[in-house]
Amino acid sequence: MKLQTQRWIDRWVGQALCAAVSLWARLLNGQARSLPDQPRHLLVILLSEMGSVVLAGPMFAALRQRYPQATVHVLQLKKNQEVAKLLGLARPEHLHSLDDSAGLGLLGDIWRVSRAMRALPLDVVIDCELFSRISSLMSYLSGAALRVGFTPHTQEGLYRGSYINRAIPYNPYQHISKQFLSLADAIDDASMPRNKAAPIRELPTELGLSVDFDIAELQAYQQKMHTDHPALASRKVVLLYAGGGLLPERAWPAAHYAEVARGLCDAGYAVGLIGLREDAELATRLRKDIASDQCIDLTGYTRSIRELLMLFHAAELLITNDGGPGHFASLTPIRSLVFFGPETGRLYGPLGPRAQVLESGLACAPCLSAYNHRLTFCDGDNQCLKRLQPLPVLRKALLILNGTAGLAAA
């Protein structure tokens, strides 16, 4: 299903359904019930892009620590479920999915998941989506006594029902990982946030997530990579992700990537262009512009997120647009430079000390937010990224690769 179609359905059909469910809940006089001392089943709804799963890592760690006896369930879009399985967010039988590729299939999945959740029964549901109506409706249909989620408070046009009984105002000035933690805090304290009972938290530096690799497995993958692409052997490897994914306005200009890649190749480094198979056309154009045998097309080379992480283990630096690769890199030793413009690293930047966010600070940026359903008004002319010039980025990359400057000082 196209993104624009999803937005239209969510806006018009979703609001009407949220209003109907709110009226139903009010007629039933459903109030927030007290939580058992040890909740049995918790559901986390996380339908966003795969990178959001990594940013939610500290929240999952907090839930496991606070409720060690509880069974954690996770509801995601089917296309994003690979990350949850890899990170072990829940046992495979406790991972639930919605297939949004077709309308009828989606309706069938909503019915199936709702029945499964009500049969548990479910004690708590945490809706991590900002202003999505489908996740809000799923939180009510799950049958959970406590429904934790974000509220727009007085914001107009963001209505998603009045049945969320542990509501936390979305804060556009705080990193999303801290806000996810506030959702976990709200389970035990009904006064949040009106009475400011929430604990004071710093931005998490630990992800609370890990992927275990055997040294032999990593060595075998690196050897395979060198056999398949001899130009990557005996050189430090820099990976470039130039694709924009679902939101092409998040992409740094391809010509800028080409200039940085040429500089890296001239300095003796190998460059690998990564991405999905649909990014192959862009990689072909970039290789033609770079014109170096040390630049290799790796689009489609990794067949899973696990292989992508092994590729990160085999490289020194990742230069990437805002998106999943920058967040997955936080799970590995690789250092990264991540471009932000239409969205901001202050809210969605990768966690951990090995990533540096690059932003221009243009007055109109960031322009994508939960308040405008991530629809930009720049018509593809993303000056916030175009004005980030390639030469300073190349200098930062060379300093990192030479080991003469840490990321914090780059």
CATH of the domain at 71: 3.40.50.2000
Task: Among 171, 186, 201, give the residue marking a domain's end.
Answer: 186
Q: Are residues 21 and 156 in the same domain?
A: yes
Separation between Cα atoms, residue 315 and residue 334, nearest integer Å: 7
Q: Are residues 17 and 64 in the same domain?
A: yes
The structure tokens listed for 243 are 């694709």
Cis peptide preceding 152, ω within 30 of 0: no
Cis peptide preceding 366, ω within 30 of 0: yes
Q: Cβ distance 49 to 323 under 8 Å?
A: yes
Element (H, E) at 150: strand 146-151
- By DSSP bridging, strand 317-321 and strand 295-297 are unpaired
Task: Among 136, 167, 186, give the residue marking a domain's end.
Answer: 186
Q: Is position 325 within any domain?
A: yes
Map tokens 């369930």 to a residue.
73
Q: Are residues 45 and 155 in the same domain?
A: yes
Q: Are residues 340 and 284 in the same domain?
A: yes
Out of 180-194, 248-262, 327-341, pick the least confident.
180-194
Q: Is position 287 within any domain?
A: yes
Q: Are residues 172 and 279 in the same domain?
A: no
Q: Is position 270 within any domain?
A: yes
Separation between Cα atoms, residue 198 and residue 395, nearest integer Å: 42
Q: Are residues 150 and 238 in the same domain?
A: no
Examine the pLDDT at 31 and tell me if it is beyond 70: no
| Whole-number pLDDT of residue 303 | 92
- Residue 134: name the closest of 6, 3, 20 by CA: 6
Examine the pLDDT at 409 and tell me if it is beyond 50: no
For the stretch 334-368, pLDDT in tens is 999 999 999 999 999 999 999 999 999 999 999 98
Q: Is position 200 within any domain?
A: no
Q: Are residues 180 and 227 in the same domain?
A: no
Out of 28-32, 114-118, 152-156, pick the least confident.
28-32
Q: Are residues 155 and 25 in the same domain?
A: yes
Q: pTM to 2 decimals? A: 0.92
Map tokens 């300093």 to a residue.
399
Q: Cβ distance 365 to 341 under 8 Å?
A: yes
Q: Are residues 277 and 234 in the same domain?
A: yes
Examine the pLDDT at 165 and tell me if it is beyond 60: yes
Q: Is position 266 within any domain?
A: yes
Q: Are residues 255 and 403 in the same domain?
A: yes
Q: Is position 55 within any domain?
A: yes
Instruction: Tell me how crowded residue 363 is: count the other CB atoms within 10 A of its CB.
Output: 6
**How many domains does the chain contain in total?**
2
Separation between Cα atoms, residue 405 and residue 58, nearest integer Å: 29
Q: Are residues 230 and 182 in the same domain?
A: no
Burial 34-57 (b: 16+ CB within 10 A, else e): ebeeebebbbbbbbbbbbbbbbbb
- Which structural domain range is residue 368 located in? 215-409
Q: pLDDT band at residue 8, thresholds of 50, 70 and 90?
A: confident
Q: Is position 203 within any domain?
A: no
Q: Is position 210 within any domain?
A: no
Separation between Cα atoms, residue 252 and residue 259, nearest integer Å: 12
Examine the pLDDT at 10 and tell me if it is beyond 90: no
Q: Are residues 251 and 351 in the same domain?
A: yes
Task: Among 165, 186, 207, give the residue marking a domain's end.
Answer: 186
Contacts of 81 (CB under 8 A, 6+ apart): 95, 97
Burial (CB count within 10 angstroms: exposed 0-12, middle 13-18, buried 19+), residue 95: middle
Map tokens 């509501």 to a residue.
167
